Structure formats: C-alpha cells, structure tokens
Amino acid sequence: MTTLIVLFCIVLLLLIIFQIARVRDLAKQLRGSEEVEATNVANQARGLMVFMALLLIITTASAYYFKNYILGFGPHESASVHGAEIDSMMKWTLAVTYVAYILTHIFLFYYAYKYRTRKGHQAQYISHNNTIELVWTGIPAIVMTFLVVGGLDAWNTIMSDVGDDDNYMEIEATGFQFAWTMRYPGPDGLLGRKDFRLISGANPLGQDWTDPKNHDDIVVNDVTLPVDQKVRVRITARDVLHDFYLPQFRVKMDAVPGLPTYFVFTPRKTTKEWRRGLSEYAEYQEIDPASDEGLPLWQTQDFELACAELCGIGHYSMKRTVTIMEQEDFDQWYSQQTSYYEGNVKGTDDDPLYMAEMKEQRDAFTQLLSQSIATPSLEDNVVPLQYVRFQEAGELSEESFAQLDNMISFLEENQGYSAMIMGRSDNAGDEDVTEDLSGVRAQAVRQYLIDNGIDAERLGSRGSSGTTSTATNLTEGGENRNPSIEIYITEGEVSEPQTANLSSK
C-alpha cells in the first residue's frame, strides 16, 4: 500500500514539474525570452547566497554542538598526559581549516553572485596573475608547514618508546576473537617468554613454562593501572588484526598477529576523579537507564578498552573495563592476584617442571626396584615408597598415585615377583601413627594395586608390628622424607623380610 502511495506521489510530482515548464514556455512567448532568462539568473544568484549562509551557519553550529566529542572539551577531556597534546593539535588544525573553509566559501558564493549574467556586462579574460598565484600558494604552504612540523613533533613524542632510565611498568594486551587478555609481570617486574606453538586451551597465551619469568605473571581480563605511572603496553593479536583503543586516553594502536606493537602512556586521572569531573555536567546527572539502583550516569561510567578494528562478528564484545587507581589501591589489588602458573598450571601435566620432576622420581624408583630384584640377598629388597601419603583416616592422598602407578608398571613387567606392603609407625613428620593405622594404610595401598589389575596373590600387607626399619636417605635428588610405606619384593610368593635383612643401611 505504502509503495503504491509513494509511486502515486512521484507521478504527481512529475506532472507538476511538466506543468511548470509549460507555464514558463507560455510566459516566454508572452513577455519575450531574454527578460525571463534575466529574472531566472537573478533568482538563482540570490538563492546561492541564501544557501551559503545556511551552509556556514549549520556547519559552524554542528561543530560547536559536537565540540566536546571531536575536540575533547568538557567531560571528554583527555585522561592521559599525552592526550592533551593530541587534543591541542586537533584544535589548532580545526581552527586553521575552519578559517580557510569560511573564507573560501564566502568568496566562492559571493563571486558566483557578483558575476552573474547581466545585460551590458562583459566577462573579463585574465590568463595569468603572478600576485594571486603567489598569495594562494604561499599562505597555505606556510600554514601547512607549521601544522605538519608541529604534528610530526607531537607524533615523535607520543610514539617514542621508553628510555633506559625511565620508571615504567610494562603490561601486555593480547587481542583475539573476541576478547582481550591482559598479562601483568609478577613481583619480578618481567614478562615471561611466549611461543605461539605452545598456545592451547590450558595455555591461551602460549607462555613458555620453562621460563621462570612466566611463573609469577598474572593474567586478567580487564585493565587496572595506577595513576601517574608511565605504562608501556605490549600489544599483540592471536588470530586476526585487532586494535587496542582506549578512547579516554587517546591511545590507539593496531594489534597485529606476529608483529608486536606497543604504546606508552601515562594515565593522569583515577576513575574516581574522572567520575567526579563528569558529575559537573548536566548530561551525566541523568539517571542511567541500565542501572538497577537508579544511579546517575556519572557514577556508572568506566574508562573502556575497545577493539577499533572490525575483526569479525563478535567485534562489539571486545569491550573491557579500564580502572585507574591510586598507587596504594593498585598495590593492594596487585598483591591479591594469583599468577596463571600458580593457579592453573603448576603440578599438572601441562607443567614441564612438574613432568620433569615426575620423570626423575619414576626413574629413581624404577632403578631402586630393579636393583632390589637384581640382588635379592641384600637389604635393598626393602624399598621405601617416599611419595605415598595418607589422609587422616588412612586413605591415599592424591600425590601418592604417581608412585603407585610406577609400581604397578614394574609388577606388570616383572610377573614372577611378589610384594609385601608394610606400614610403618615411626614416621616423623606425620602425626603419631599407631600400629593399627599403619596396617590400614598398608591395606589401602594393597587394595589400590589390586584395583588396578595386580593379582591379589602377589600382594601381601601388614602393619608395623613393632619392627622399625631402615629406610632413610634413600631418595636420590628428592627431599628426604621418612616413608609411611615400604615394600619387600621377592621372587615367587609373598614373604616377610628376614630381620637380618633389615639392619640399618
């Protein structure tokens, strides 16, 4: 229906235009064509003058109206030190180009008006004028030189890297589809090494855990910084181009995969100070419609980090909060953070240090066991299980399983051998262990081995029964712990160690 009405209007409009043209033709015939032509030209010339006035008024008014946004006035004043310089450059550039814009437009329209076709006026023919050429080349050249040199100077200051003697903190921003991850150095003040080949679900930044500098690095989602502290942000991307954009700080730098970039800046306002500043403007005293508590806008504003590169369908969701704090508050926040390594990696299969330690333990243990079956007559037959630990009720602790699994492998490979599992009651370091409890513990170990496929016939267990043995100082390279459990390996059936074999080693 709407389409029909629109079509009908267009047809009507065309008819009207056609009728007006016909009326003008008739008028020409009545009054003579020259006279009508002159009136038309005069009308057009006057119309252009009106157009000029409207154009200049509307553009000036809109520039004035949006000055806070485009020039960083009032509530949009820069929150970083270098930002003031950028804003001042923008102001000077706009001031100069505004004057040029006004003058050229006035001349353009005024001369179109002045030299309109009039009876008895002949156009002048000017082929060349040196003075005019000089003026309109010279003046812009001089002005542009000042603007460009000033801009270059500001660029060099703003884009320069930190110097050797500078006091600064370095953080890292990694953009990916579709979020930012921030990395802070730990107490060592240094960011650890990364390698994109190490990136995985458990290691989103590809940190190299063999580099100790990585162990204290903190990984967070939002940006938190102390005020008046120079910050160097290493900027990088994991997949496609992103752009690290802090509008309130006039910071903007591409994040390019494989090509690290950086930006150095100094925040000069805390979030609190900034909000207090906003509260002085009427537009921020209105209630924030998104606030459940009905807070005014100035209280709900945050500095933000955005992505300024159209990087994919979730581009909009790359917004992050930037919080600027007093140094003491920042120190407190910082001390509450846990490093990514401590919180997510340490002691897991992703931790190369832990894996190396486990391998070392396994090798030492296997060597002890092999030695014990190679020389069956020696007291070496009693092998301590250093890493087997218990909870209060005699259940196995998590950390025990690695060594028990090594033992299972050994028994599987050496089918002809059996093991007596012996609890000990005298292990210093733990709480006092009764004879009963030592038996319960030995039984728990036996059960674990049976549950994991070792024939029950090949396994015996007993408590301490007053016998205390030997085994201290048996770990190689590991800490020296008194074991709660020892095993006695024999060829054939399970048997008790001879007392003679248990002399001190």
| Binding-site ranges for Cu ion (CB under 5 A) | 242, 307, 311, 318
Q: What angle do CA 223, 229, 235 make, to 5 degrees?
A: 45
CB of 83 to Cu ion, least distance (A): 22
CB of 309 to Cu ion, least distance (A): 5
Q: Choose between 94 and 256: whose C-beta lies nearer to Cu ion.
A: 256
Q: Choose between 45 and 241: whose C-beta lies nearer to Cu ion.
A: 241
CB 446 within 8 A of CB 501: no
Paired tokens of 89: 């450059």
CB of 459 to Cu ion, least distance (A): 59
What DSSP assignment string belongs to 214-269? GTT-EEESSEEEETT-EEEEEEEESSS-EEEEEGGGTEEEEEBBTB-EEEEE-B-S
Element (H, E) at 327: helix 327-335
Residue 400 and residue 345: Cα distance in Å, rounded?
A: 19
Q: Choose between 180 and 387: whose C-beta lies nearer to Cu ion.
A: 180
CB of 260 to Cu ion, least distance (A): 16
Q: Choose between 30 and 313: whose C-beta lies nearer to Cu ion.
A: 313
Q: Choose between 243 and 486: whose C-beta lies nearer to Cu ion.
A: 243
CB of 76 to Cu ion, least distance (A): 23
C-alpha separations of 236 from 69, 136, 176, 240, 262 in Å? 28, 46, 9, 10, 8
Contacting residues for 284 by C-beta, under 8 A, at least 6 apart:
75, 278, 296, 297, 298, 301
Closest-CA residue to 67 (of 94, 86, 99): 94
**Roughly how many angstroms between the first and final C-alpha of the chain, as a whole number?**
103
What pairs with residue 251 in β-bridges? 246
Q: Choose between 319 and 505: whose C-beta lies nearer to Cu ion.
A: 319
CB of 314 to Cu ion, least distance (A): 8
CB of 104 to Cu ion, least distance (A): 40
Contacting residues for 475 by C-beta, under 8 A, at least 6 apart:
364, 384, 386, 481
Reduced 3-state DSSP string for 104-118 = HHHHHHHHHHHCCCC
Q: Choose between 307 and 440: whose C-beta lies nearer to Cu ion.
A: 307
Q: Choose between 215 and 242: whose C-beta lies nearer to Cu ion.
A: 242
CB of 197 to Cu ion, least distance (A): 23
